[in-house]
C-alpha cells in the first residue's frame, strides 16, 4: 500500500510503498477513505511525543470501510463503514471496565503508538471496543472530522461540562476544538461567548452560533471582566480549548459562583490556577480527554439530524501526495477549520 512515512523527526516525509497491514486476532484493517490533518500530527513528526518508533506513519482522525477482520472479532464484518476515537482502548483494564475507555490504562493511538491512517489501509486494535458505525449517508470526510477535535469538544461540553439550556458558556480559543465546542454548546441551547485573537476564528465562531465574540487582544480591562460583563455575572461553564496558562486562568476567572471550568487543551508549560477563587466561589475544575466509542451514539444522532454540522469545519480535501507539504506547513500556516486527506481517491 502507499503511505506517508517519515524516517527521521523533522525531516521531510515521503510517499512510499509499504507492506499491507494484517489484522490482529481481535483487530481489523480499515481501508482509509478520509483522515484529518491535525496539529498533533505535526507535533508527532517534530518528535515532541515520546513513544513514536521510526520509521513512522502518522494519522489518527480516520474513517473508512473494514477490509479485513481478525478471527476473534464478533461485532464487525468486512464492508462496514466505521470510524474510531483517537484514543483506542484495551477494553479490559479497570478504567475500561467502568466504561471510561477515554482514560484507558493501556490506551493506544493510531499514528502515535503504531502506524496511523496517512495510508491506504490502517490496522485498528481491539475492534469490538473501539469501532463506531457510521450512520447511513454520513460522508467519510465528516466522519473523519469527528474522531479527535469534535468528539473531544462534545465530551467536554455535554459530558464533563454538563451544559444545560439557557446557560452561558465561554469558549477560550477557537481552533478546531474551540469551534466545535461553540457549535455543540449552541446546539444544546446554551448562550456562547467565544474568545480568540484571530478575527477569522471569531467570525467562524459567530457563524457556528456564538452570541458574543471577544477579541482577547483588544480588551484592556481583561478577558474575564469582559466575559462577566457580557454574561451578566460570569459564565456557568467555561472551557480552555487552547491549553495555555493565560487561557486556563482566564477561563477560571470568567466563571460565576459554582461554575464549571473544563480543561481541554494540553498545558505543556503548566498553569496558574487561582485556588482562592476556586474555594471562595465553589468552582469545579474538570479535565476532559477524548471520548469513548460507546458515547458516540448521542453525538452521531445530533449529526444525523442536522443539529450538529461538523462538515462545516472541513475546509479542504487533499490527496496523499499533498500530505508532506501540508504536514510541514502546519506550524507556519495555521488553517481555520479542518483539512481532510483522501488516501484512496483516484489521483
Q: How far is the CB of 38 from Zn ion (least distance, A)?
A: 3
Choice from 1, 87, 96, 330 touching Zn ion (CB under 5 A): 96
Q: How far is the CB of 148 from Zn ion (least distance, A)?
A: 3
Residue closer to Zn ion by CB (options 38, 66) is: 38
285 scored as a contact of Zn ion (CB under 5 A): no
CA distance 48 to 13: 16
Choice from 148, 171, 182, 213 touching Zn ion (CB under 5 A): 148
234, three cell numbers: 460570569
90 scored as a contact of Zn ion (CB under 5 A): yes
Residue closer to Zn ion by CB (options 89, 182) is: 89
303 scored as a contact of Zn ion (CB under 5 A): no
314 scored as a contact of Zn ion (CB under 5 A): no
Q: How far is the CB of 338 from Zn ion (least distance, A)?
A: 9
Q: How far is the CB of 110 from Zn ion (least distance, A)?
A: 11
Choice from 1, 88, 89, 216 touching Zn ion (CB under 5 A): 89
104 scored as a contact of Zn ion (CB under 5 A): yes
Of 99-107, 189-197, 207-215, 249-257, the segment contacting Zn ion by CB under 5 A is 99-107
Of 33-41, 72-80, 186-194, 200-208, the segment contacting Zn ion by CB under 5 A is 33-41
Residue closer to Zn ion by CB (options 30, 90) is: 90
Residue closer to Zn ion by CB (options 93, 285) is: 93
Q: How far is the CB of 101 from Zn ion (least distance, A)?
A: 6
- Report the 3 state secondary structure along the chain: CEEEEECCCCCCCEEEECCCCCCCCCCEEEEEEEEEECHHHHHHHHCCCCCCCCCECCCCEEEEEEEEECCCCCCCCCCCEEECCCCECCCCCHHHHCCCHHHCCCCECECCCECCCCECEEEECCHHHHCEECCCCCCHHHHHCHHHHHHHHHHHHHHHCCCCCCCEEEEECCCHHHHHHHHHHHHCCCEEEEEECCHHHHHHHHHCCCCEEEEHHHCCCCHHHHHHHHHCCCEEEEEECCCCHHHHHHHHHCEEEEEEEEECCCCCCCCCCCHHHHHHCCCEEEECCCCCHHHHHHHHHHHHCCCCCHHHHEEEEECHHHHHHHHHCCCCCCCCCEEEECCCCCC
Residue closer to Zn ion by CB (options 202, 338) is: 338
CA distance 222 to 137: 45
179 scored as a contact of Zn ion (CB under 5 A): no
Residue closer to Zn ion by CB (options 252, 293) is: 293
34-63 residues near Zn ion, rule: CB under 5 A: 38, 40
93 scored as a contact of Zn ion (CB under 5 A): yes
195 scored as a contact of Zn ion (CB under 5 A): no
Residues within the interface to Zn ion (CB under 5 A)? 38, 40, 89-90, 93, 96, 104, 148
Amino acid at each position: 500500500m502507499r503511505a506517508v512515512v517519515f524516517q527521521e523527526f523533522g525531516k521531510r516525509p515521503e510517499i512510499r510503498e509499504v507492506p499491507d497491514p494484517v489484522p490482529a486476532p481481535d483487530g481489523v484493517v480499515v481501508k482509509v477513505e478520509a483522515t484529518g490533518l491535525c496539529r498533533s500530527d505535526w507535533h508527532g513528526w517534530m518528535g515532541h511525543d515520546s513513544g513514536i518508533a521510526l520509521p513512522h506513519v502518522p494519522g489518527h482522525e480516520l474513517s473508512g470501510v473494514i477490509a479485513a477482520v481478525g478471527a476473534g472479532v464478533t461485532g464487525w464484518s468486512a464492508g462496514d463503514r466505521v470510524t474510531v476515537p483517537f484514543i483506542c482502548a484495551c477494553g479490559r483494564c479497570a478504567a475500561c471496565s467502568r466504561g471510561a475507555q477515554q482514560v484507558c490504562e493501556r490506551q493506544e493511538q493510531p499514528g502515535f503508538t503504531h502506524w496511523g491512517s496517512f495510508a491506504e489501509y490502517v490496522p485498528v486494535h481491539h475492534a469490538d471496543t473501539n469501532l463506531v458505525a457510521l450512520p447511513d449517508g454520513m460522508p467519510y470526510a465528516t466522519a473523519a472530522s469527528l474522531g479527535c477535535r469534535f468528539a473531544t469538544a462534545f465530551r467536554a461540553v455535554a459530558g464533563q461540562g454538563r451544559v444545560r439550556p439557557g446557560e452561558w458558556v465561554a469558549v477560550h480559543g477557537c481552533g478546531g476544538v474551540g469551534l466545535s465546542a461553540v457549535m455543540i454548546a449552541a446546539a444544546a441551547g446554551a448562550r456562547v461567548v467565544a474568545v480568540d485573537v484571530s478575527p477569522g476564528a471569531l467570525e467562524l465562531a459567530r457563524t457556528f452560533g456564538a452570541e458574543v465574540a471577544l477579541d482577547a487582544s483588544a480588551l484592556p480591562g481583561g478577558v474575564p471582566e469582559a466575559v462577566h460583563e457580557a454574561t451578566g455575572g460570569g459564565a456557568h461553564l467555561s472551557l480552555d480549548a487552547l491549553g495555555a496558562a493565560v487561557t486556563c486562568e482566564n477561563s477560571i476567572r470568567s466563571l460565576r459562583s459554582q461554575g464549571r471550568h473544563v480543561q481541554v487543551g494540553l498545558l505543556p508549560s503548566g498553569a496558574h490556577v487561582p485556588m482562592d477563587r476556586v474555594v471562595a466561589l465553589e468552582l469545579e475544575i474538570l479535565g476532559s480527554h477524548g471520548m469513548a466509542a460507546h458515547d458516540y451514539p448521542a453525538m452521531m444522532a445530533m449529526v444525523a439530524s442536522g443539529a450538529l454540522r461538523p462538515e462545516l469545519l472541513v475546509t479542504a480535501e487533499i490527496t496523499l501526495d499533498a500530505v508532506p507539504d501540508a504536514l510541514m506547513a502546519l506550524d507556519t500556516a495555521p488553517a481555520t477549520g479542518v483539512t481532510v486527506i483522501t488516501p484512496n481517491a483516484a489521483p
